[in-house]
Amino acid sequence: AEDVTNHGQVDMTVFFENKVFVFEFKVIELTEKGSALSQIKQKRYYEKHLDVDRNGDFVGTGHSVETRHALSLQNPSSGQIQEREIYLIGVEFSREDRNITNLEWEKV
């Protein structure tokens, strides 16, 4: 099932250890090359995964980037917010070739 955000629906989100992988899939005959990763960034699908507490529970983006960075440097056992590594992955397919034609990724 798609992962719903306040900006739209992510095609797939995978959680593994302290990492979050946000995927967007596109058929490139219908859109231009590079549009899958661009959509993730433009619609900011990753934002809801920026902060987690020491139990791994998501706490949203209620802090500035500077505050999130400072908190991520604190001891996780203190109960403070810690950041997860977030990867944005755009996968593009060719309907004609029936194969992946473009794969782009970026770490947030």
Q: Is residue 24 part of a domain?
A: yes
Lowest mean pLDDT among 25-29, 36-40, 50-54, 66-70: 66-70
Q: Are 28 and 94 in contact (CB under 8 A)?
A: yes
Query: What separation in angstroms does the CA of 105 have from each of 22, 64, 87, 94?
Result: 10, 24, 7, 18
Residue 4, pLDDT > 60, answer: yes
Number of folded domains that form the chain: 1
CA dist 108 and 28 (Å) reads: 24
Q: Is residue 67 part of a domain?
A: no
Q: Is residue 28 part of a domain?
A: yes
Q: Is residue 2 part of a domain?
A: yes
Q: Is residue 7 part of a domain?
A: yes
State which residues form the domain around 15: 1-45+88-98
Q: What is the DSSP letter of 62?
A: -
Mean pLDDT value across the chain: 76
Q: What is the pLDDT of residue 95?
A: 87
Question: pLDDT tens digits, residue range 54-83?
Answer: 555 555 544 444 444 444 444 445 555 556
Does the pTM exceed 0.75?
no
Q: Is residue 83 part of a domain?
A: no
